[in-house]
Amino acid sequence: MSEQAEKLAAVRAACESCQRCALGATRTNLVFGTGSPDARLMFVGEAPGEREDATGIPFVGAAGQLLDRYLFAVGIPRDDVYIANILKCRPPRNRDPLPEEEDACIEHLRAQVRIIRPKLLVCLGRISAQRLIKPDFRITREHGVWFSRGAFEMCAVYHPSALLRDPSKREDMLEDMRAIAEKYRALN
């Protein structure tokens, strides 16, 4: 196991018993994150849904399958990136995360980012972008725009669930994902 994989496993082990917020009592599985421990590209969604809670793996439900299609379309293997969420436990009935849940959970994500040290961090949807990029982030206006954050660059794209609800956004998503893939390949 690489040093990064070992460090991530230690953070994960600490997370497994986390009861920092009330969601610790209702989760079926912790949804820590998956992918390459030294990924240069990291995606951060909002919170696990039903399938994710059942499996412990992020983005495996309908939204995740759509994300997989975009990754495939732009030639980014899912195994090469790292995928996590703002919250590691599922909110009841998939409601939006509460600010106190985000506050309780964000240190786990920060630890993941410190270990993985991605060059590009892509927020999936408004909730992630408002937490990680800026509180007044407007997804319709600012999706695909890059923000420099010291060691890495960040942008946000539409959440795949939003694309399931409103297919008219899919063209924009493809354009953003193509730009992300181009930037990713330019790192190599």
CB of 47 to ligand URA, least distance (A): 6
**Which of 32, 43, 59, 184 forms a contact with ligand URA (CB under 6 A)?**
59
Given candidates 45, 97, 118, 144, which one binds ligand URA under the rule CB under 6 A?
A: 45
| CA max distance for the chain | 43
Q: Which is closer to ligand URA, CB of 2 or CB of 65?
A: 65
Closest approach, Cβ 45 to ligand URA, in A, equals 3
The residue sitting closest to ligand URA, measured at its beta carbon, is: 45
Residues in the chain: 188
Helical spans, DSSP H, in 2-157: 3-16, 50-55, 62-73, 99-116, 126-132, 139-142
Q: Which of 17, 23, 18 is nearest to 98 (CA)?
A: 23
Amino acid at 186: A
How close are the terminal C-alpha atoms of the chain, in Å? 23
Using the rule CB under 6 A, which residue among 35, 37, 58, 144 binds ligand URA? Answer: 58
**Closest to ligand URA by CB, 4 or 55:** 55
Q: Does residue 37 belong to the site contacting ligand URA (CB under 6 A)? A: no
Please check whether residue 123 is in contact with residue 112, taking contact to mean a CB–CB distance below 8 angstroms: no
Point out which residues bind ligand URA (CB under 6 A): 45-49, 52, 58-59, 61, 63-64, 85, 124
